Homo-oligomer: A and B are copies of this chain.
Amino acid sequence: MAANLGPKAAHFAMTIEPSFEDWLSIGRSSLFSKLDRQLVLSLLDDDSIATVAKGEKICRQNEPARHCHVVLAGLVKLVRQSPGGQEAVISIHGPSQTFMEADALSNGVYSTTEEAIIDSRILRIDAVTLREKIGANPPFALAMLASASVHLKVLLEHVEKLKSMTGPARLADFLLDLAAQRSGSAAFQLPYEKQLIASHLGMTPESFSRALGQLRGLGVRADRNKIEIEDIQRLRQFRDAR
């Protein structure tokens, strides 16, 4: 509800009901898209929707996992820190993507820290409620499993790429993903800061910069956060060669 661009802080005082856009996001998520609206509603409670400012954390690694989350709007990064204090960006989630289901379900602690990288709206689903509903609703359980399956596959690919591709090749791969075409040329914007992409691809900002410079020789023009790829196929060839 609420006008689709209406002042959000207005009716924040009490229960926050999902807005029209929120419902769109929920509907687009692979986890909830095929589920009954009533069921989804039953998962929500008073403080289900949180507005999170850029830089704010949604949850912290090693704290008890009491919720799973769905991005309704915005962008969230999933960061993991090692005992030695190093940080690694594991993945980045946009609207309609769920995360932390696994942690919430296994009744353990969050295995990553989540942080909004732009102002975001997050749906928080209580872990206990979630477990209940899953137990009572087999199709929901299957949807959860499918969702976990997707996450697993993404991570799998990520590992593969980290192990077998050089930095520039990983960047090429990332750009090809964004272009979402199989041939011809493409132009688009980088979805977030280069530092963040660099970290996501497992390299330093400096290496990222150099990698981008290297791709220039393959028909990739970069101005600010605008990217132009002359020849998608050529870029793919480069990627596959490493």
Contacts and interface: CB of A to CB of B under 8 A. Distances in A.
Given A135-B142, A136-B138, A155-B159, 12 more contacts: A83-B240, A86-B163, A90-B160, A102-B149, A102-B152, A105-B145, A134-B145, A135-B139, A145-B148, A152-B152, A162-B202, A163-B199
A98 interface: no
A87 B162 contact: no
Interface string A128-157: 000100111011011011101111110111
A103 interface: yes
Interface in A26-82: 80-82
Contacts of A158: 159
A132 to B, nearest CB: 10
Given A84-B241, A160-B80, A102 B138 contact: no
A86 B239 CA distance: 12
A242 interface: yes
A236 to B, nearest CB: 8
Contact of A141 (B82, B83, B111, B138): B138
Contact of A156 (B105, B111, B146, B239): B111
Interface of A: 80-84, 86-88, 90, 101-103, 105-106, 111-112, 131, 134-136, 138-139, 141-142, 144-146, 148-153, 155-165, 199, 202, 239-242
24 contacts: A80-B160, A82-B161, A82-B164, A82-B240, A83-B240, A84-B241, A84-B242, A86-B163, A87-B164, A88-B159, A88-B160, A90-B160, A101-B149, A102-B149, A105-B142, A105-B145, A106-B145, A134-B138, A135-B142, A141-B144, A144-B145, A148-B149, A162-B163, A163-B199
